[in-house]
């Protein structure tokens, strides 16, 4: 883990402000619904924009992660027991907000058998039971490549299932407890287990990756059946987290997007503020 590099300052295109007044109504609703969001737990810079539009991405399996990725703001430690009412709580909140496309992610729970796949499946079923026309997108951890767990998620009824590579193979030291090849296999197995679902992944720029390494990553994703890709700028949550090596210019995001689309991706969202679940509805609109 590195200390923040004080010589690198955020450029003008990365100065989006979080307006606290935009957060209060949604924070109250989420608290009343007893649900968590990755927007809050990961300190997403888009939170004001999304919350002001009554849009949120839900986080299940608790708010404590069993791994220690050096870029992530989610708390790490010993998680609490699962909340058996969480699937219904999420479904009810989705219905209350009137969401038509909902994203559900989680902390990594290596302490659970199957990595929490059953909880993911229950949450999808709870949403679909209220309104089967709601599109559900899951963003899952690697679940230790447990085939039964991946199968349970693949046939859960979700329309999109994502698993993020986060960065290029050379820089995987930022993903403590994870493995680049294993994550690729997870994506490939999801595609094989249910060819009807759309497969998505995401990466961040700014760790010091080279373009050729990003191109190689894109090719790896296409080979295992990935359809969608998000590319965003890494922003260090604090001085205790991984250092930002580079703030990437918007024109490079567009360049990488164009190269990726030439490789056969169905859709790539690529910009400094792009995150895995940001404007998630756009991806399916391309199908």
Given a contact cutoff of 8 angstroms between Cβ atoms, the answer to whether 270 and 254 are in contact is yes
**Residue ranges in the chain assigned as alpha helix (H):** 20-33, 38-41, 47-51, 86-97, 117-130, 147-154, 180-193, 211-223, 250-262, 281-284
Average pLDDT over every residue of 222-239:
94
> pTM of the predicted model, to two decimals?
0.93
The partner residues of 59 in beta bridges, in order of sequence, read 36, 105
> Domains (ranges, CATH) in the chain?
30-284 (3.20.20.70)
Per-residue pLDDT tens over the stretch 191-228: 999 999 999 999 999 999 999 999 999 999 999 999 99
SS3 103: strand
According to the model, what pLDDT value does residue 15 have? 81
**Residue ranges in 201-265 assigned as alpha helix (H):** 211-223, 250-262
Query: How far is 108 from 68, CA to CA, in rounded Å?
Result: 10
Question: Of 86, 95, 118, 120, which is closest to residue 106 (Cα–Cα)?
Answer: 120
Residue 287 has pLDDT above 70, yes or no: no
Residue 170: alpha-carbon gap to chain centroid? 21
According to the model, what pLDDT value does residue 225 have? 97
Residue 3 has pLDDT above 50, yes or no: no
């Amino acid at each position: 883990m590195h200390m923040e590099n004080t010589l690198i300052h955020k450029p003008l295109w990365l100065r989006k402000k979080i307006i606290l007044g935009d957060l209060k109504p949604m924070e109250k609703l989420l608290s009343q619904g007893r649900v968590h969001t990755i927007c809050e737990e990961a300190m997403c810079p888009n939170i004001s924009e999304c919350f002001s539009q009554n849009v949120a991405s839900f986080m299940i399996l608790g708010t404590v992660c069993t791994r220690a990725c050096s870029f992530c703001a989610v708390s790490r430690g010993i998680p609490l027991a699962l909340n058996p009412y969480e699937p219904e709580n999420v479904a009810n909140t989705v219905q209350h907000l009137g969401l038509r496309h909902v994203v559900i992610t989680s902390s990594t729970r290596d302490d659970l058998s199957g990595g929490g796949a059953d909880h993911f499946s229950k949450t999808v079923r709870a949403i679909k039971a209220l309104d089967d026309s709601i599109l559900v997108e899951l963003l899952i951890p690697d679940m230790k490549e447990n085939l039964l767990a991946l199968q349970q998620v693949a046939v859960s009824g979700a329309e999109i299932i994502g698993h993020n590579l986060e960065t290029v193979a050379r820089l995987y030291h930022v993903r403590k407890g994870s493995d680049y090849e294993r994550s690729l296999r997870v994506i490939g197995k999801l595609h094989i287990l249910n060819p009807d679902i759309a497969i998505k992944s995401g990466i961040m720029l700014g760790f010091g990756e080279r373009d050729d390494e990003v191109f190689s990553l894109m090719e790896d994703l296409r080979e295992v059946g990935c359809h969608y890709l998000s590319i965003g700028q890494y922003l260090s949550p604090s001085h205790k987290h991984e250092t930002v090596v580079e703030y990437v210019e918007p024109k490079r995001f567009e360049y990488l997007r164009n190269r990726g689309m030439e490789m056969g991706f169905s859709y790539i969202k690529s910009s400094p503020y792009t995150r895995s679940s940001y404007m998630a509805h756009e991806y399916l609109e391309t199908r």
